[in-house]
Amino acid sequence: MTPFHIDVPQTDLDDLRDRLARTRWPRPLPGDGWTRGVPVDYLRDLADYWRGGYDWRVHEARLNEFPQFRTEIDGQDIHFLHVRSPEPDALPLILTHGWPNSIVEFTNLIGPLTDPRAYGGDPGQAFHVVAPSVPGFGFSAPPAQTGWTVGRVARIWAGLMSRLGYEHYGTMGGDLGAYVAPEVAIADPDRVVGVYVIGGLGFPTESDVPELTEAEQAAFASLQQADWMNGVDHHALLRAAPQTFAYGWQDSPAAALAWMMQKFHEFNTDPRPVEQVLDRDLILTNLSLYWFTGTFGSSSWFMYDSTAFAWPQGQTAAPTGVYSGPPGIRRLAERHNTILHWPESNSAGHHFVAMEQPDAFAADLRTFFAKVR
């Protein structure tokens, strides 16, 4: 284990600001709002703020408040946060972030999880938190070969928890993490006490449709019409030509900003603009991490190493809880999971709920793990 400290060179910050200042802005295309993609005026305002108003050093210092390390497992250099709770009987918990996200996803979540006493919670429900950067993301090394799978990442996570000396632990993830977290239980069934995902289980496939009830068919139809189901198909795009698109994201911060905001906008179910739902600086810290580490392309491995999109199925090695059951269907999720926690009404205005509502998310996560400790 090697201690790690984030320290982006000043030359990289200067280069970012210079590139933003020299952006060749396109002409606005006809159409209202976001109908043609990210509006030019909107992005120019945000780029101006990223260049002159946003302070990376403030957020770099905040990230450095978390103890960080690097270690090599399975030939892979892994970066991770390891924040132990002041409560000695805390349950170890490994968090897996989503795409296009990073450990920044958990910036406001770690405190309520590790020290619930300080946030008005029950100290008996505290966690020791481990939050690795998925290979190819942030400060973890990118996969050097093709053929990577979420199962391989999960085995690395199990090895990391063993190396840290944890005899039993929980696993949590959303988005990409909703694929990885169940695989951790499959890889380490004797030590994983529970799997918690933000959502994604029990989504019907076309083959399920004829057997759906009338209410389930209505829910499926609503799902198919959701904005986040009908935006840019990033799975198809990054499966087809990730190297091609990486040139723009690697060379132009405006292109990188446009891509990130396109996805964060599509992942927003709240009627308010995304920067009013999620903290604007938090979004830009996540983007800056991608920019400074040059990981827009390498973070796409789970899409370019796949042949088609599929929803996560889960596992039966450990009990499962979710933050939000709907729009998934519980009876479908129970084909592949032992569901212990399936709330119907947890609020979520954004796909990355841990960024949006860390306190509510932490409370629900504690509710589930209280059942399996």
pLDDT at 60 over 80: yes
Q: Where are the domains of the chain?
A: 9-60+234-304, 67-206+309-369
Determine the pLDDT at residue 205: 84
Token pair 């479908």: residue? 332
Name, in order, each residue with C-beta under 8 angstroms of 342's C-beta and a sequence gap of 6 or more.
Answer: 321, 322, 325, 330, 333
Please determine, looking at this structure, whether the domain spanning 67-206+309-369 carries the CATH number 2.60.40.420: no
Residues 6+ apart with CB under 8 A from 57: none
Cross-strand partners of 128:
92
CA 45 from chain centre, in angstroms, equals: 26
pLDDT score recorded for residue 228: 67
Provide the 3-class DSSP secondary structure of residue 63: helix
Percentage of the chain modeled with pLDDT above 90: 89
The phi, psi pair for 78, rounded to 5°, reads -115, 130
Q: What is the pLDDT of residue 332?
A: 94
Which residues 6+ apart lie within 8 Å of 109 measured at CB? 95, 354, 358, 361, 362
Tell whether the model's pLDDT for residue 263 goes beyond 90: yes
pLDDT given for residue 155 in this prediction: 98
Condensed to tens digits (0 to 9), the pLDDT of residues 197-246 reads 999 999 988 888 889 998 888 878 877 777 667 789 999 999 999 999 99
* Strands ordered across the beta sheet of 76-83: 2-3, 68-73, 76-83, 127-132, 91-96, 169-173, 192-197, 320-322, 339-341
Query: Contact, 340 vs 371, CB < 8 A?
Result: yes
CA dihedral 338, 351, 280, 142 (to 10 degrees): 70
Give me the pLDDT at residue 209, please: 87
